[in-house]
Structure formats: C-alpha cells, structure tokens
Structure 1
Amino acid sequence: MAKFELKDPLSWLGGKAEENKTDKTEIETEKVKIIYSQPRENIGGREFDELMNSIKTHGLLEPIVVKEDGGGNYNLICGERRLAAFRQLGLKTIKANIRNDIKEEDIFIIQIIENLQRKELEPIELAKAYKKLLDKNKTIRDIASLVGKSKSHISDMISLLSVENDLQGKITKKNVRKAIEVSRIDEAKVKKEIIKDFDELHIKDIQNKKNSSLDNDNITYLINRFNEEHSSKMSVLFLKKMTSITLKIPSGLKTEKILKQIIKIKED
C-alpha cells in the first residue's frame, strides 16, 4: 500500500499535478462546487475566524484542491474552510491545485488525510469518517495504514459512535479519552449515570464505576438468583482479581442459555 508524506496528502496517490496545472492556478470561487461528502461537519468557530485573519494578512498559503467537472466548473476535493473564508471575505478568485487524475474512490481518503494533518476534525467527525471508510470495505488495518495511526486508535474512535447522542454532542478533543471509556461500558444503568455526570467525572472515576458494576456481591447475587430459578448448584470462588465459576448445568440446559438468563436477571 502506498505511503503518504505528512506534508502532502496527495503524495499518497503517488502522482503529480497535471502539466500546466500548478499550485498558482487562479480560479473563480463561484465556479467551485461542493459535491463530495466532506469529513468536516462544522467549519465555523474561533479557528475559522483565525483562518480569515491569516488570509487577510498573509494570503492563502496552501491552495485548495479541485477537479474539473467537464462543464467549466470545479468540484472541491480539499479546502472547504479555505474556500468558505475566501467567499466570506468577498474574494473572487483563489489559488487551486487542479487534479483531474484523482479517482472518485480516493477522494474521501485524501480529505481525511488532509484534515488529520491539519488537526481540524473533531472526534465525532473523525469517528464518522473512519466508519465511512469501513463501509467502503476498508479494514481497521487498512485505515490505520492509510492515516498513519494505530489500529487501537481507529477502533477507539469508531467506538464513540456507540454512545448516546446526548454524549456525542459533548465530546471534544479534551474529553475524548473519557468518552472512549464510556463506550466500553456494557451495563445501561451504569452508563446512564456516568453520562449524566460526565462533565464532572475524571477518567479514573469512570473506570472505577465500570469496574464496580460487577463486584463480588453482585456476582454472588446473580448466581444465587439463577440457582433459585433453575434448581441449579453453581458455586463461585473469588481469587483476588480473578474469578473462577464452577457450574453444574441442569439437564437439557445449554451454557449459552444459562448466560442469557444471568444477563436477564442482572438487567431486572
């Protein structure tokens, strides 16, 4: 698989801009269309204001990347915020790198790589971007290689999509590690309590709440309840941090069914 350089997300393709189409090509901003799905969902805020101030002071340091549509206009590949800033500043033309050689299936990957290098994507935006790559038949290993991150990072970010929408709306770059811990909790009641106090809790608090959701007393209670309801004789032996459970399974009752029944008792 091709490697990309951090300074140039387009180097992942291994190609060069077409002849006579340089970074200094000026195109009209009104002719640039946004038809491809963009990883970034929110382009406003303080960073956008800083970008506009930088453009006013220093001009555009990095051209946008576009592809000709064949009808005199251009489809944007990279640079949505830069384009939006130019339009808001009332500037009529913008520097562009025209790349007609880029394949449709590579566009979203290039967008993600560029945003990662600029550190622009918020955690949930990043999680959704990785999920889209999964949906395009990429594996966790593929994505990790493409974006230069670890497989555990990719898995952790995608796990954020499993938490409730209320929490997703609170996730920022500062608290993303806490949110990942919440995504690892299976018990609904514990997760609900943590989400309610999410802003006040530290990572250690969340880990402690997760670990205490199945302490020794709870396990003993679940086993006893199961024994009562199924005339079984299960015993549980606790050895420091390791729990050993000996089962005597009633005739005709499969292990899978036992586990489902214990989970049902726990949820009740």
Structure 2
Amino acid sequence: MKDESSEIRNIPINEITIINPRSRNKKIFNELVTSIANLGLKKPITVSKREDGSGYDLVCGQGRMEAFLVLGQSQIPAVMITATVEECYMMSLVENLARRNHSSMEFMTAIATLREQGYDNSQIAAKVDYSEEYIYATCYLLDHGEERLLTGVEKGIIPPSIAMEIARAHEADVQDALAEAYEKRTLPGNQVLAIRRIIDQRNSTGKSTSGMANRSKQSGKKVTAEALIRTYRKETERQKLLIKKAAVAQSRLLFVVNALRRLMSDSNFTTLLRAEHMITLPRSLAERVSGDRYVQ
C-alpha cells in the first residue's frame, strides 16, 4: 500500500464503491451537510483506484461523500492511494472504530473481522487506539454472545472488567439483574464482584442463587436486581454474624489459655494433675499454653 500522489483530484462520486458501509446518526450527518455547505470540505476523502480501472474503493470519507450527494454534487476531492480491496477494507474498519461514534453492532463486527484477519488483542488495541484491557473484555463478551453487556461497555455505563465479571455469572436472569444493579448505581462495582462470588459459591454448594433461580422458575418470577441486593445484604449480615461469633470464641479461648498458663505455672496444681494421672492437654490447647510439653 502506498500513496500514489499527494495531489488531490476531483473524481466522480458514482465511480466510488463503499466497501465498508456504516449507518450514521441523522443529526450528526445533517450537521456535517450544513458545515460543508457553509464552509466547504475541510478534508478530502481517501480512495484507492481498482486494478482493472473500473472505479474506486472508498477507504474513508463515507459521510463527506454522502453529504456531497445531498448537496447535489457529482464529484468530490479525493486523495489517491494504492491498496488492495482487503487493505482498503481494513483501513476503513480501523478508521470507523477510531471515530468512537459507531454503533455497538458495528464495533462487534469490526473487532470480529480484525480477529479473523489474525490480529491479537494487543495489535487490535494499537490499531483502534483502545486499551488492551478494553479489547480483551470486548473479545470475551463477543465470544460469549454478550451483546447487551457490550452495549453497556460501549456507552460507558459498565466498565469492561465489571462487564466480564457479570458475564461469568451462570444464569441469564442473574446477569441481567447484576447489570441493572450496576447501571442504576444501586450497587457499586466492588459489590457486583462480591455478588458474583456469592453466586459462584452458592452454585457450587447447591444453594443461594441457583436455589433462588429454581424458586423463581417455580413461581414464574424473574430474578431481579432488588433480589440480588437482598441476597447480597443477607449474605453480608451472615458474614458479619460469623465474624462476631468468631470474635467471641477467640475471646473465650484467650481467657481459657491465659487461665491455664497461670495454673500450669503453679507447682501445686501440676502436682495435683499428676496425682490424678491428668498429665496431658488437648493438642490445640497445649500448643497455645506451652508449646509441645503437654501434647497428647
């Protein structure tokens, strides 16, 4: 691929083929038409002349070309390059992705095409000027058919990492509920991650969300964001209670250990134990009280 010339030529619009057509926002397009009508074309389109001389393939500038047609023009200024149809398509694809105003479907199609061409995540990220994490998440969601989550990522509603965590949940209803909870700011991202961990744990132990999903199927009700929030809060309270119980047990154990240490330092008490043939302690207590001296 190379530039044929830096010279800008006027070429017939009807000889140009759009090899990677894309839909566009009507309001933005009308603004483009008005701008060109009032100020003229600021940047020429880019085309490649076909080898058989039958016309041109458009590399970039579909909006500008269509605006010229609306304004009744039959020719448009263009920069000529030499490239194959495949190269033109790839350049057009990258150009569209870099604009950031594409639809989710266009984005998914473009990323899928780049992957089919053999590009890895880092290469795609470099080409379209997105982070590698963003592309990795997009490819993961694409592989798992997560169009709804991809739309959320594209709109900036859900960060890529959060979208991946949501996609890893098992039930479709649970995924929707997690996404809804995050989008409505009912739960921050760290809580969404916590909920997914709860879901995974309960799926593996046969209770919780799988149980909740089973109950919802029996009752005909869909798992909602509110239900997940209740589940999360209930689990949080359960864990707090466990922490309290553990703290009480730890306190009591420390009391017993300290009491035994005092007793074991009393020669009269140890003499009494030997007389009663009670010369050992349970292993856990013995280790805490005085190392291995009284281990059974």
TM range (shorter): 0.5 to 0.7
Between structures 1 and 2, the one with greater helix share: 2
Range 144-153 or range 44-53, more displaced: 144-153
The residue identity in structure 1 corresponding to 2:13 is T
Residue from 68, 80, 84 that aligns with 1:86: 68
RMSD: 3.4
Residue 192 of structure 1, aligned match among 176, 198, 203:
176
Kindly tell me: are residues 121 and 203 of structure 1, through their superposed partners in 2, closer, same or farther at Cα, counting changes over 3 Å?
A: farther
Of 92, 96, 102, the match for 1:111:
92
SS for the counterpart of 2:30 is: helix
Q: Which residue of 2 aligns with 1:212?
A: 195
Q: Tell me, yes or no, if structure 1 residue 30 matches structure 2 residue 14.
A: yes
Q: 1:202 to 1:160 in 2, by over 3 A?
A: farther
Give the letter for the 1:86 counterpart.
F
Is it true that 1:77 corresponds to 2:59 in the alignment? yes
Gap change, CA 1:26 and 1:141, over 3 Å in 2: same
Q: In 2 relative to 1, CA 91–44 (structure 1 residues): closer, same or farther, beyond 3 Å? A: farther
Trace 1:149-164 onto structure 2 (pairs within 5 A).
Answer: 149-161=130-142, 162-164=144-146
The residue identity in structure 1 corresponding to 2:34 is: N
Superposition TM-score, scaled by structure 1 size:
0.62
Amino acid at match of 1:22: E
Cα shift at 1:137: 1.1
Q: Structure 1 residue 29: deviation in Å?
A: 1.3
Q: Does 2:25 align with 1:44?
A: yes
Identity of aligned residues (%): 23
Structure 1 gaps, min length 5: 1-12, 226-237, 241-268
Query: Which runs of 5 or more structure 2 residues have no equivalent in the other structure?
Result: 208-238, 244-296
Structure 1 counterpart of 2:77, from 87, 91, 95:
95
In 2: Cα distance, 1:63 partner to 1:221 partner? 58
1:32-79 residue CA offsets vs partner (Å, 9 max, x unmatched): 122x234xx322322111111111111111111112233442221211
Query: For residues 163 and 201 of structure 1, what CA distance do their matches in structure 2 show?
Result: 23
**Larger radius of gyration between Structure 1 and Structure 2:** 2
How many Å separate the matches in 2 of 1:18 and 1:198?
A: 54
Q: Deviations over 1:243-264 (max 9, x none)?
A: xxxxxxxxxxxxxxxxxxxxxx
2:148, 2:125 → 1: CA distance?
28
Partner of 1:202 in structure 2? 185
Cα deviation 1:103-156 (Å, max 9, x = unaligned): 333223322332344433244422321221111111112222333433212112
Q: Equivalents in 2 of 1:120, 1:220: separation in Å? A: 41
Structure 1 pair 98–222 and aligned structure 2 pair: CA distance change class (3 A): closer
Residue-pair matches, total: 205
The 2-side partners of 1:106 and 1:134 are apart by 15
Contact 2:181/2:187 (CA < 8 Å) preserved in 1?
A: no
Shift of 1:208: 2.1
Give runs of aligned pairs for residues 111-190 of structure 1, distance below 5 A.
111-161=92-142, 162-165=144-147, 171=152, 173-178=154-159, 181-185=162-166, 186-187=168-169, 188=171, 189-190=173-174
Alignment partner of 2:72: what SS? coil
SS at match of 2:158: helix
Q: 1:118 to 1:61 in 2, by over 3 A?
A: farther
Q: CA deviation at 1:199?
A: 8.9
- Distance across 1 between alignment mates of 2:37 and 2:161: 39
Structure 1 counterpart of 2:79, one-letter code: N
